[in-house]
Chain A
């Protein structure tokens, strides 16, 4: 791979030397994709480089999401930031607050004179990365949403209807109690505990996590999710944790193996879990939308995304920006998006790509891939379900998870844990507000 890279580079250099127009403009793209996803990144860059001769996108793997973001920050401080950097969704507020350090995508496209219609993108996806006025700040790259994975064999074994998996939270609790008889260590569980039980839960029920449209309208947002509804959910989980009808699986996706191994028959996690399930699950499986409380009027509303987007760094030349803009146009191409979606399982970012995939009959054969899209587009997003933008979100998630852990292990009553999560979260927000946006 590296050798091939060098060969391409050498070929590019040779071409550049023979061409009278001068040098090829290089565009550095730092990313955090491994395995098959890394191949996708490399292929996209190669295809773009072949499609024209003025610009050359050079992808570079920089480690995990956190590593990549830190590498980008360090490079910026040292004065040699890349042009494009892939940042996970929870880093959005950090990037956005760094006004001089980034170049908003809507501005980039306008200045470069590239055709760019924000309305052609799926609002449920771009909303997360846009200002409240709908100006796109970063370019969505890999997006997913949260779904509930279902082991249909286990449902049958427990005497449940495998064709109609539970839809609401009360149904999930009931089903889990029955499943508990056959899978004593885990009736149901969830990865990404805070993403599932706080972030997605709030959007799906159309209730706010914080003021100012979950922080989208300003850094002076205040958390307010310590509501009776959230308490009800958490109290149920705490009660069911006692005999492992619900069993906690950690803060990230490390517990996902409990679904594929057959231990947990119901498991909430990212829709991007699909390739893994397909490869490893030795049972009849499917995925369904997240459960909701039917007594909440607006539920289900729409889900929010997870994943990462591409940020453009500031302080580069107009020519380099033109190249970046051309690359984004290239990525937005309908056929390319539709193909990317069908091959990798990432969500398409344009409406046209979604429609095209739908028209081709792809979802009839692969209904699982449409579940997150149905969730995201279930209703037009509201203030509470467009996304969230809280400073130091990585740390925030840890704080929330700590309090949930305290409640689940019986160290704190649910109400006290939720209040503490909100209070400690607000301290983080105030600290962030102090350094950001000045």
Chain B
């Protein structure tokens, strides 16, 4: 959901830029705009008469947000104040009782801890590996296109399928990797060992996300003017230094966008992977907040408690994103 929003947000930003650029270029040739220019000589702007059209153009986006984002969110908020049976036969309004109960449960704090650990690892690993691959693929090498295409493929795999693939590879007794690990003396048993289970879902989630990050990093790298890098090279900067002082700062808008997207990915979209690979177990070692929402609501039929959790989750992600925009974005060079 938020990924889509962020996506749409960026698309909007891009199209806005394009619109301004176009307006500026077109302005001198256009008579009306020319007149406008005469009135306000410092700035060329396209001016729409009437307010109906812009609102009309805004309507589809607004309607979609309303129906698919705000309405369900409002429903969740309302549901979180209720205690209700699965069939909706008996309903009791309980104010903040669902929330209060949640914060009394140690397993909820545990889930918060797991979520931050998991999301941190997933975002960090998938971003750094994707950046590494993108820098490699950005060089002048043979069959670069082929590598690029192959690196994008995993993104087309559904989360549950990705998870099944990893189960096949890492299930004790069945999986190829599991057998190799066991043969080399490691007691690989993610169905009983919580740390190993967490490693397993982190690897699956990272693998799934690398392609997406790779695409954006590659596009970002290709947008960096070669002249800048060449200039640095002439000044005597070695590749390592060129990367950190020239390429990486110029890549920061992409990196920032990806950090936001990846954290939301790790928070929400990894549900399918966790559900198929570990089911939140063993002993809650891989139970993230979103998995707990799913578990309590769908399997436990505790709609009120589940709704309260999703409201809290929503607040956490909004806060995280706000922090990122407030503090991290300052260091971004556009």
Contacts and interface: CB of A to CB of B under 8 A. Distances in A.
B238 to A, nearest CB: 49
A97 B85 contact: yes
Contacts of B239: none
A408 B281 contact: no
B84 interface: yes
Interface in B170-191: 172-174, 182, 189, 191
Most chain A CB atoms below 10 A, which of B84, B90, B189: B90
A261 B178 CA distance: 15
A233 interface: no
B90 A409 contact: no
Given A76-B87, A395-B296, A405 B281 contact: yes
A392 B89 contact: no
B172 A185 contact: yes
Is chain A's binding surface mostly helix, strand, loop or mixed? Answer: helix
A392 B87 contact: no
B252 to A, nearest CB: 43
B87 A248 contact: no
Contacts of B85: 97-98, 435-436
B298 interface: yes
Most chain B CB atoms below 10 A, which of A255, A409, A428: A409
B253 interface: no
B173 A250 contact: no
B295 interface: yes
B86 interface: yes
Interface in A424-438: 428, 431, 434-436, 438
Contacts of B295: 395, 398
Given A251-B279, A409-B192, A261 B296 contact: no
B299 interface: yes
B193 interface: yes
B192 to A, nearest CB: 5
Contacts of A101: 87, 89
B302 interface: yes
A261 B301 contact: no
Interface string B80-103: 000111111110100000000000
A436 B86 CA distance: 9
Contact of A100 (B89, B92, B182, B299): B89
A402 interface: yes
A365 to B, nearest CB: 32
B194 A261 contact: no
A66 B279 CA distance: 14
B220 interface: no
A394 B300 contact: yes
B284 interface: yes
A408 B192 contact: yes
Contacts of A360: none
A409 B283 contact: yes
B83 A434 contact: yes
A248 B187 CA distance: 13
Is chain B's binding surface mostly helix, strand, loop or mixed? Answer: loop
A186 interface: yes
A258 B85 CA distance: 39
Contact of B300 (A186, A251, A395): A395
A435 B281 contact: no
B173 A263 contact: yes
Contacts of B34: none
Contact of B302 (A77, A185, A249, A431): A431
A124 B74 CA distance: 47
Interface string A394-438: 110010011101101101000000000000000010010011101
B193 A409 contact: yes
Q: Which range holds the interface residue count of chain B? A: 20 to 34
Contact of B83 (A66, A76, A435): A435
B173 A185 contact: yes
A377 interface: no
Contacts of B193: 409
A398 B287 CA distance: 12
B166 to A, nearest CB: 14
Most chain B CB atoms below 10 A, which of A98, A241, A428: A98
B102 to A, nearest CB: 12
A436 B182 CA distance: 48
A258 B172 CA distance: 9
A409 B282 contact: yes
Contacts of B302: 392, 395, 431
A402 B284 contact: yes
A58 to B, nearest CB: 23
Given A248-B192, A394-B299, A185 B284 contact: no
Contact of A99 (B88, B89, B92, B182): B89
Nearest to A186: B173
Contacts of A395: 295-296, 299-302
Contacts of B298: 66, 70
A37 to B, nearest CB: 21
A44 interface: no
B191 A73 contact: no
Given A73-B87, A434-B83, A435-B85, A250 B191 contact: yes
Given A98-B87, A261-B173, A66 B283 contact: no
A94 interface: yes
B183 to A, nearest CB: 11
A32 to B, nearest CB: 15
Given A100-B89, A250-B191, A398-B279, 19 more contacts: A66-B299, A73-B301, A97-B85, A98-B87, A100-B87, A185-B182, A186-B173, A241-B192, A251-B279, A258-B173, A398-B299, A405-B282, A405-B283, A409-B192, A409-B194, A409-B282, A434-B83, A435-B84, A438-B90
Q: Which 9 residue pairs are nearest across A and B when measured between Cβ atoms?
A: A395-B300, A435-B85, A405-B282, A405-B283, A98-B87, A101-B87, A406-B283, A394-B299, A402-B283
Interface of A: 66, 70, 73, 76-77, 94, 97-101, 185-186, 241, 248-251, 255, 257-258, 261, 263, 392, 394-395, 398, 401-403, 405-406, 408-409, 411, 428, 431, 434-436, 438
16 contacts: A76-B88, A101-B87, A185-B182, A241-B192, A248-B191, A263-B173, A394-B299, A395-B295, A398-B281, A398-B299, A402-B281, A402-B282, A405-B282, A409-B192, A409-B282, A435-B90
